[in-house]
């Protein structure tokens, strides 16, 4: 079992939710991605938050370049490990 995890950084909650749903449809992922809000310490304003989509890739079947392009569709990016 691999411990590979991908983190996609998205600009807002709607984009994160749409991307999380589309991941399974496009890449056939087994596990539902987790969505987390990431804000700087003391930031309460949702406008200043980023949203993270965490995806475990136990089969190591997802290619970083494809995930980069995928996240870019929502003006996001894949965080390097």
Could you read off the pLDDT of 54-66 as tens digits, one per residue?
999 888 889 999 9
**What is the H or E stretch that residue 6 is in?**
strand 5-10
pTM: 0.84
DSSP assignment of 31-47 equals: SPPEEEEE--TT---GG
Looking at residue 28, its pLDDT comes to 86
How far apart CA 16 and CA 42 sit, in angstroms, is 22
Q: Which tops the pLDDT comparison, 29 or 78?
A: 78
Looking at residue 59, its pLDDT comes to 84
Could you read off the pLDDT of 21-71 as tens digits, one per residue?
999 889 988 788 999 998 765 555 556 678 999 999 888 889 999 999 999
């Amino acid at each position: 079992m691999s411990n590979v995890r991908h983190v996609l950084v998205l600009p807002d909650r709607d984009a994160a939710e749409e991307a999380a749903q589309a991941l399974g449809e496009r890449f056939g992922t087994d596990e539902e991605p987790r969505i987390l809000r990431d804000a700087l310490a003391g930031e309460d304003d949702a406008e200043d938050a980023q949203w993270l989509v965490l995806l475990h890739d136990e089969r190591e079947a997802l290619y970083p370049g494809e995930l980069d392009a995928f996240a870019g569709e929502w003006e996001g990016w894949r965080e390097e490990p």
